Amino acid sequence: MRKTPTLDKKSQRVNEQIRVATVRVIGADGTQLGILATEDAMKEARKAGLDLVEVAPQGNPPVCRIMDYGKYKYQQKKRHHKGQTHQTKIKEIRVRPKTGNHDIATKVNHAREFITDKNKVIVTVIFRGREMAHQEEGRRVLNGVLDQLEDIAKVESPPKQHGRRMVCTLAPK
């Protein structure tokens, strides 16, 4: 006794891969053509310029449909990709009140990349030691970063002081 090979859900038998003697055929327009010999079903599919695709191999006899297999695979792939959405991540850039202008420009470019990838960005100014006495320097640096990113980002939460940190959250526009 010979077992029929099991199919995984990804692969379907098409045209010459269908090895059974008779199949139940559904036409290209969805009408039932009945139970036909596999050769006759293949002739019908070729006459229509389409493929014979096995859609229910577990049936007795297996159910085949006349369709454009390439178009069907394309629509399946498109439907699969439509369900995937972008997961928003939160990225962070850290600066200090004494950070140089070129270093800040580099960090702003990184933040720009994060925002164009639809991620949120937390801009953090970290104060150490005596820098806490000059918080206006930290606010100046933070406002400079916000000014450079205002064309592609909106401020989600305004700058707030959290201990030795000044934090602001940006989201894509």
pLDDT digits (tens, 9 = 90+) for 103-154: 999 999 999 999 999 999 999 999 999 999 999 999 999 999 999 999 999 9
The answer to whether position 142 is within a domain reads: yes
Q: Which two tokens stand for residue 111?
A: 């933040």
Please tell me the pTM assigned to this model.
0.55
Task: Please check the confidence at residue 1 and state whether its pLDDT lies above 90.
Answer: no
Domain holding 31: CATH number?
A: 3.10.20.80
Same domain, 166 and 100: yes
- 106 lies in the same domain as 168: yes
| Same domain, yes or no: 74 and 145 | no
Domain closes at, from 81, 103, 122: 81
Q: Is the peptide bond before 61 cis (omega within 30 degrees of 0)?
A: yes
Quick check: is 135 in a domain?
yes
Does some domain include residue 20?
yes
Q: What is the CATH number of the domain that holds 134?
A: 3.30.110.10
Verify that 107 and 137 share a domain, yes or no: yes
Residue 14 DSSP one-character state = B
Decide if 61 is inside a domain. Answer: yes
Q: Which of 119, 121, 127 lies closest to 95, judged by CA?
A: 127
Residue with tokens 């949120």: 120
In this structure, is residue 121 part of a structural domain?
A: yes
Claim to verify: residue 105 and residue 154 sit in the same structural domain: yes
Do 29 and 74 have their domain in common? Answer: yes
pLDDT digit string, tens, across residues 44-100? 899 989 999 998 888 888 999 999 999 988 988 888 887 777 788 999 999 999 999
Which of 81, 104, 134 terminates a domain? The answer is 81
- The domain in which residue 23 lies consists of 15-81
Choosing from 81, 103, 131, the residue where a domain stops is 81
Domain total of the chain: 2
Say whether both 29 and 61 belong to one domain. yes
Cα–Cα distance, 170 to 173 (Å, whole number): 9
Q: Are residues 147 and 76 in the same domain?
A: no
CB 28 within 8 A of CB 66: yes
